[in-house]
Amino acid sequence: MFDFISFIPRAVVQGIPLLLGSTGETLTEKSGNLNLGIPGVMYVGAICGVIGSFFYEQSHPGDAFQPLVGILIPLCCCLIGSLLMGLLYCFLTVTLRANQNVTGLAITTFGVGFGNFFGGSLIKLSGSSLPSIILTPTSNAFRRSLPLSPALAGSWFGKLFLSYGFLAYIAVIIALTAAYVLSRTRTGLHLRAVGESPNTADAAGINVARYKYAATCLGSVIAGLGGLYYVMDYASGVWTNDAFGDRGWLAIALVIFTIWRPNVGVLASFLFGGLYILHMYIPSGMNLAIKEIYKMAPYVVTIIVLIITSMRNKREDQPPASLGLAYFREER
């Protein structure tokens, strides 16, 4: 019998980093910026949080550790780090109008390198014999779930809905807010116009560059949170180089899968998370290899969605029309 009660919460915690990453990338893409640097940004977000909490934990061992401060410091570091990456991307692609694919890939190279370099340096600094940094107090602060009666916490309802750290709920709130803003508010309308047709938006008096900057930077910050959630909550505060893996790309896949709708992303990310860990739940006997095939599932599903949407050719389901193109007002 398939154990849904234990499977779903694990799929959810797997999905949250993807949800944050894809919400961030959706906002970015809605402004017409295809930020392929998201994997790098998530690395930077994660490592900045790790650096912040590492030094806080070092200076406040034991009882001196304040959970609230312990949360705020890595959070701020993470936000600043990923914001800077977003700004860099914007400066190059919006202000200097560089090719977005190339810039994004360069950001990913840089970001992953940055994460692994400082990760490696901290590991050396901590003098640990393991190739990882362990930030248990911070992680505990991040993972603290609602104070529930044991009965409720033990029930299926508690396990499915109430067992997560606060960042998970924030991720869902961010995604739903983003969906609301995009479809119902003037800011969202303007942002969509910028991504569809910057020319038109410009003529309508919308500051195209400002929207691109704002959406991309905000998107980066949200994606960076995904990195932070991964380390602090999912991985229980353990940073190991390259452990984050290909989740950044998976987040980009998720954007396509949800056809640029962050509210769909909430459930879709859990689905992706589920597909990612499915191999642990499907009895494969001694065949270890097959789990690598299962890991392929999210990508294959994304490809299928990409193909179906392009075949149906419904205008509302297409990528923003100016995705990947730099905007220059006086282009003739």
Partner 1 sequence: MNNKTREPLFHIAKRAALPWYRTWAIRGGALVLALIVCALITTLVTGENPLQVYVAIFKGSFGTSRKVWVLLQNVAMLLCVSLAVTPAFRMRCWNLGGEGQALIGGLAAAACMILLPGKLPNWAVIVCMTVSSILAGAVWAGIPALFKARWNTNETLFTLMMNYVATQLVAYYCVVWESPKGSGNIGIINPNTQIGWFPQIGSYKYLLNILIVAAVCVAMYIYLNFSKHGYEIAVVGESERTARYVGIKVDRVIIRTMLLSGAVCGLAGLLLVGSTNHTLTPTIVDGRGFTAVMVSWLAKFNPVWMILTSFLLVFLSRGAGEIATRFSLNQSFGDILTGVILFFIIGSEFFINYRIIFRRPAGKED
Partner 2 sequence: MDNKTPAVTMRNITKRFDGKVVANDKVWLNIYRGEILALLGENGSGKTTLMNMLSGIYFPDEGEIAIDGKEVVIRSPKDAFALGIGMIHQHFKLVDVLTAAENIVLGLPGKLDLKAASEKIRAICSAYGFEVDPNQKIYNMSVSQKQTVEIVKVLYRGADILILDEPTAVLTPQETDKLFAVLRNMRNDGKAIVIITHKMHEVEALSDRVAVLRHGQFIGDMPTKTTNAQEMTNMMVGHPVVLNIDRPEPKNPKPRIEVKGLTVRDIEGTLKLDDVSFTANSGEILGVAGISGCGQKELLEAIAGLQPVEKGSICYIEDDGTREELIGKDPLSIQNMGVSLSFVPEDRLGMGLVGNMDLSDNMMLRSFRRGHSLFTDRKTPHQLAETVVRDLEVNTPGVSTPVRRLSGGNVQKVLVGREIASAPRVLLTAYAVRGLDINSSYTIYDLINRQKSEGVAVIYVGEDLDVLLELADRILVLCGGKVSGIVPGRGAKKRDVGLMMTKLGGGQTNE
- Under the binding rule (CB under 8 A), the answer on residue 240 touching partner 1 is no
Which phi-psi region, left, alpha or beta, contains residue 324 (left: φ > 0; alpha: ψ -120 to 50)? Answer: left
| Interface stretch with partner 1, choices 8-16, 114-122, 218-226, 227-235 (CB under 8 A) | 114-122
Three-state SS string across 44-56, please? HHHHHHHHHHHHH
Distance separating alpha carbons of residues 199 and 98, to the nearest angstrom? 18
Distance separating alpha carbons of residues 51 and 133, to the nearest angstrom? 10
Distance separating alpha carbons of residues 216 and 29, to the nearest angstrom? 8
Residue 201 touches which member of partner 2, partner 1, none, C-beta under 5-8 Å by kind = partner 2
Q: Which of 244, 243, 253, 191 is nearest to 217 (CA)?
A: 191
Q: For partner 1, how many residues bind (rule: CB under 8 A)?
A: 59
Distance separating alpha carbons of residues 142 and 228, to the nearest angstrom? 10
| Interface stretch with partner 1, choices 111-119, 139-147, 166-174, 206-214 (CB under 8 A) | 111-119
Residue 252: helix, strand or coil by DSSP? helix
Two tokens at 173?
């709130």
| Interface stretch with partner 1, choices 165-173, 182-190, 206-214, 241-249 (CB under 8 A) | 241-249
Among 6, 121, 128, 187, binds partner 1 (CB under 8 A): 121
Give me the amino acid identity at 96.
Answer: L
Among 23, 26, 31, 108, binds partner 1 (CB under 8 A): 108
For the CB of residue 106, give the shortest distance to partner 1 in the complex, in Å. 4
Name the one residue in this structure whose structure tokens are 């193109």.
325
- By the 8 A CB rule, do 101 and 215 touch? no
- Under the binding rule (CB under 8 A), the answer on residue 266 touching partner 1 is no
Subset of residues 28 to 57 that bind partner 1, contact rule: CB under 8 A: 34, 36
Among 183, 185, 200, 310, binds partner 1 (CB under 8 A): 310
For the CB of residue 99, give the shortest distance to partner 2 in the complex, in Å. 16
Q: Which is nearer to partner 2, 149 or 313 (CB)?
A: 313
* 8-state DSSP, 163: -
| Interface stretch with partner 1, choices 110-118, 159-167, 169-177, 227-235 (CB under 8 A) | 110-118
Element containing residue 215 per DSSP (H, E): helix 208-229
For the CB of residue 313, give the shortest distance to partner 2 in the complex, in Å. 9
For the CB of residue 173, give the shortest distance to partner 1 in the complex, in Å. 27
Distance separating alpha carbons of residues 76 and 78, to the nearest angstrom? 5
* 8-state DSSP, 238: E
Judged by the rule CB under 8 A, the positions of this chain that interact with partner 2 are 184-186, 188-190, 192-193, 196-197, 199-207, 315-316, 318, 321, 329-330, 332
Q: Angle at the Cα of 239 (from 235 to 245), degrees rounded to 5?
A: 75
| Interface stretch with partner 1, choices 72-80, 102-110, 146-154, 213-221 (CB under 8 A) | 102-110
Q: Which is nearer to partner 2, 12 or 178 (CB)?
A: 178
Subset of residues 284 to 303 that bind partner 1, contact rule: CB under 8 A: 288-290, 292-293, 295-296, 299-300, 302-303
CA 207 to each of CA 2, 191, 195, 199, 311: distance values in angstroms, whole numbers, following the listed order: 53, 10, 12, 11, 34
Element containing residue 133 per DSSP (H, E): strand 132-134
Q: Which residues bind partner 1 (CB under 8 A)?
A: 34, 36, 88, 91-92, 95-99, 101-103, 105-117, 119-121, 124, 241, 246, 249-250, 252-253, 256, 288-290, 292-293, 295-296, 299-300, 302-303, 306-307, 310-311, 313, 319, 324, 328, 330-332
